[in-house]
Structure 1
Amino acid sequence: MEVVGNTCFSSSSVLVSPLTNGAFSLSSRAIYEKRSCNFTVFSRGIKSNKISCKSSESGIQENPKSKSGSGTKVEEYNTAMKRMMRNPYEYHHDLGMNYTLILDNLIVGSQPQKAEDIDHLKDEANVAYILNLQQDGDIEYWGVDLKSIIERCQRRQIRHMRRPARDFDPDSLRSGLPKAVSSVEWAVSEGKGRVYIHCTAGLGRAPAVGIAYMFWFCGMDVITLKCMALKQLNTAYNTLTLKRPCGPNRKAIRGATYDLAKNDPWKEPLENLPEHAFEDIADWERKLIQDRVRSLRGT
């Protein structure tokens, strides 16, 4: 059995299981290869698909069109993501759910597509909480049966939470981050298992919530996957995106940080401040942010 990294795909042809060091192993039915930020899935030894996370000088590189049954939807989604988020990465719905272990108690990934994905998260990744950032329209667009997923969560004793944010909209993300992080912080504090944060592709909203949580509440020792003191957004951002190549909106995270740390109603708007304002926070600002986020529990 080969250890190949910490990003895994769950589908009928790709089986994965977590190891104690945060990596994942694959069964003999599938081989997963990660080289130079290219993810290639092999099913029973036959190359089947590719996810490219290369970017051109302009920050965007087109991939060949998908030939799967949901190809048109995938193409439309990736086109919108590249245009509106300037995100050079792509979502491949036909490969099934994929996710990455970020902290020892935090996972960021794409949407569960069927009830069996919940069994996988429970049995293979020790997930006890799921935070869904999708709006109803996102779920309907991909034809996901959310009711069956929630029912399977209840059966498997997984707490399913929703904090919807509009896809490709940094203002919606900015306003929604505090409540989303409050759900993550509460779930982590409960300590009953890992927290799985997902949006549609796990490339925008979900990693932004993970980064904001790390920035506001902890950090990450990249060797042990344990929390440590952290005061810089850049450290949290790079830590997550090096593990899971993606392009969450940094400005939205800065904006939410500013909103929570603002202690003067007459304070100058963030837009008038230097470009890197609130990418570093003082201890008193961190304490104020934490208190305000915790006060949002249950809202």
Structure 2
Amino acid sequence: MHVRWQRININVNDHTQRHILCDSQERDREYAARVRKVNQGTDRRRFFEVQGFSQCKRDLPICFVAAAENDRNPTMNCLQNLSISSSLPLRSFKCRQRKPEFQPCKLVIRNFTDLHRRSSVKAVSGSISSVEISGAEVDDAEEKEAKEEKEEKEEKEEKSEIYSQNMTEAMGAVLTYRHELGMNYNFICPDLIVGSCLQTREDVDKLRSIGVKTIFCLQQDPDLEYFGVDIGAIIEYTRTFDDIEHLRAQIRDFDAFDLRLRLPAVVSKLHKAINQNGGVTYIHCTAGLGRAPAVALAYMFWVQGYTLNEALELLLSKRPCFPKIDAIKSSTADILSGFKKKPITLSWEDDQCSIVEVSGLDIGWGQRVLLKFDKERGVWILNKELAEGLYEYKYIIDGQWRCNETEPVTPPNKDGHVNNFIQVDGDDDPSSERAIVRGRLTGDDPELTNEERSKIKQFLEACPDEN
């Protein structure tokens, strides 16, 4: 009888093959007894050197399993269900009258951290009894994970597409925002950035790395919820640093009138934060295309000394966007002269439609108000009070956005969009000092005198702080 040695290769995955040394104490003792019986006087050290072993306790690159040739079904306490890839015959050697000092070799498994497939290893009495690798289960899990990632990506893209369509309709310009691409921004001035919303805590780290000291958020809670932004986590993370501050000053999206009303309080809060924190300021809304650039423009116009047109030209040279300039003009005039309200009437002649709504005006493009049908006249009517200023609006007839050709229409913008508009004048006497001031500040090229800018700064500093 002679001893046969077999080499076992274990296929861990498609890319990796590991050689595992498998021995157990029980099998070692059985093997040693056979060797002594069959080959008395064998030089054990030479025997292992011939087979590729230098030390029995050394981490070896291959696995040898000894079995007597007349053992047809040897029982081994080692890895099961593994194919034998090669067989090495026992080489002849000379015998010496020396009793071998056999030291059992324990199981060694190396480099399992880079496995791409899942395996289940069961260990008993210091040795591994089985390894279970289910390729089918792994493939199913990977396929499920890939499917979920694809669905999540498609959902984000769909939300971005819907938001971009709403923004285009509301702003009167073709604007696109891709939330799934992450935060984007542009330096308008060395100390002033306009951009899109933060999405994760890592965005705070990015802004700190470029010197941002104040994060100024204009979003409302529904804006954040729509894209699943956890504003609480972002604020809490920002508070762990003493060199950056996160502030909120909410303005309703797609609402020029709310922008007009909110600008004084919002810019007041911004002005105070910049004076306190210094450094770079990051102003953002959701997409960074409407509210954020408008607030930046108002700050540049009221505080930094730009004319409105100079500030707008600089802004557009840095970041394509569509701020509501008329809202800034009207808000400027409101600070310096106050504002009055006057009643207005809108109408739509069509007795065949079932629902007539209007959007824009002082309610914003994200809101709609119903017109009432006058059966005697066959006309849809809206009576409303508006503060003095210029308002754009559009009718929605049975769900279709349309302009009324019998009412004033804005010139087409660069994208060809037009809206109805109405100019509300608060003074009956156009020659009054108040009317002249408002006319100048809401004109094509408004400029502030030094005295007017000083009054605005005093107003901003005296404005009550918001929570």
Instruction: Using structure 2 for the length normalisation, give the TM-score.
Output: 0.45
Report how far residue 89 of structure 1 moved.
2.2
- State the AA in 2 paired with 1:168: F
Q: Which has the larger radius of gyration?
A: 2
**Matched position secondary structure for 1:69:** helix
* 2:175 pairs with one of 68, 89, 102: 89
User: What are the ranges of 5 or more consecutive residues in structure 2 without an aligned counterpart?
Assistant: 1-152, 342-386, 390-423, 426-437
Report how far residue 251 of structure 1 moved.
0.7
* 2:266 pairs with one of 180, 183, 188: 180
* 1:103 pairs with one of 178, 189, 206: 189
- 1:277/1:296 CA distance change after superposition, 3 Å: farther
Report how far residue 87 of structure 1 moved.
2.7
* Cα distance in structure 2, aligned partners of 1:248 and 1:152: 30
Report how far residue 287 of structure 1 moved.
1.4
- Stretch of structure 1 that moved more, 179-188 or 196-205: 179-188
**Matched position secondary structure for 2:239:** helix
- State the AA in 2 paired with 1:114: T
* 1:147 pairs with one of 232, 236, 257: 232
- State the AA in 2 paired with 1:237: L
- Corresponding residue for residue 294 of structure 1: 461
- Asked if the contact 1:106/1:194 (under 8 Å) is kept, the reply is yes
**Matched position secondary structure for 1:130:** strand
- Stretch of structure 1 that moved more, 172-181 or 201-210: 172-181
* Cα distance in structure 2, aligned partners of 1:291 and 1:144: 36
* 1:254 pairs with one of 309, 329, 338: 329
Structure 1 residue 279 corresponds to structure 2 residue 446: yes
- Stretch of structure 1 that moved more, 100-109 or 136-145: 100-109
- 1:241/1:296 CA distance change after superposition, 3 Å: same
Question: Which of structures 1 and 2 has the larger relative contact order (alpha carbons within 8 angstroms, sep 6+)?
Answer: 1
* Cα distance in structure 2, aligned partners of 1:215 and 1:181: 11
Task: Quote the sequence identity (%).
Answer: 40
* Cα distance in structure 2, aligned partners of 1:263 and 1:80: 32
- Asked if the contact 2:339/2:388 (under 8 Å) is kept, the reply is no
Structure 1 residue 238 corresponds to structure 2 residue 313: yes
Report how far residue 297 of structure 1 moved.
5.2
- Asked if the contact 1:254/1:277 (under 8 Å) is kept, the reply is no
Structure 1 residue 119 corresponds to structure 2 residue 212: no
User: What are the ranges of 5 or more consecutive residues in structure 1 without an aligned counterpart?
Assistant: 1-66, 219-228
- Stretch of structure 1 that moved more, 256-265 or 112-121: 256-265
- State the AA in 2 paired with 1:95: L
- State the AA in 1 paired with 2:297: I
- Asked if the contact 1:119/1:156 (under 8 Å) is kept, the reply is no
Trace 1:67-86 onto structure 2 (pairs within 5 A). Answer: 68-86=154-172
- Corresponding residue for residue 388 of structure 2: 269
- State the AA in 1 paired with 2:323: P
- 1:69/1:264 CA distance change after superposition, 3 Å: closer
**Matched position secondary structure for 1:161:** strand
- 1:246/1:214 CA distance change after superposition, 3 Å: same
- 1:190/1:71 CA distance change after superposition, 3 Å: same
* Cα distance in structure 1, aligned partners of 2:154 and 2:318: 27
- Corresponding residue for residue 416 of structure 2: none
What's the RMSD between the two structures over aligned residues?
2.1
- State the AA in 2 paired with 1:296: C
- State the AA in 2 paired with 1:151: E
Report how far residue 263 of structure 1 moved.
6.2
* CA shift digits 1:95-121 (9 cap, x unpaired): 100011111211110000001100111
* Cα distance in structure 1, aligned partners of 2:165 and 2:388: 32
- Asked if the contact 1:114/1:144 (under 8 Å) is kept, the reply is yes
- Corresponding residue for residue 31 of structure 1: none
- Asked if the contact 1:258/1:278 (under 8 Å) is kept, the reply is no
Structure 1 residue 132 corresponds to structure 2 residue 217: yes
Give runs of ≥4 in structure 1 deviating > 4 Å. Answer: 263-266
**Matched position secondary structure for 1:97:** coil
* Cα distance in structure 1, aligned partners of 2:235 and 2:264: 24
- State the AA in 2 paired with 1:144: V
Higher helix share: 1
Structure 1 residue 162 corresponds to structure 2 residue 248: yes
- Corresponding residue for residue 65 of structure 2: none
* Cα distance in structure 2, aligned partners of 1:105 and 1:191: 12
**Matched position secondary structure for 2:448:** coil
Instruction: Using structure 1 for the length normalisation, give the TM-score.
Output: 0.69
* CA shift digits 1:167-186 (9 cap, x unpaired): 00001111111122112211
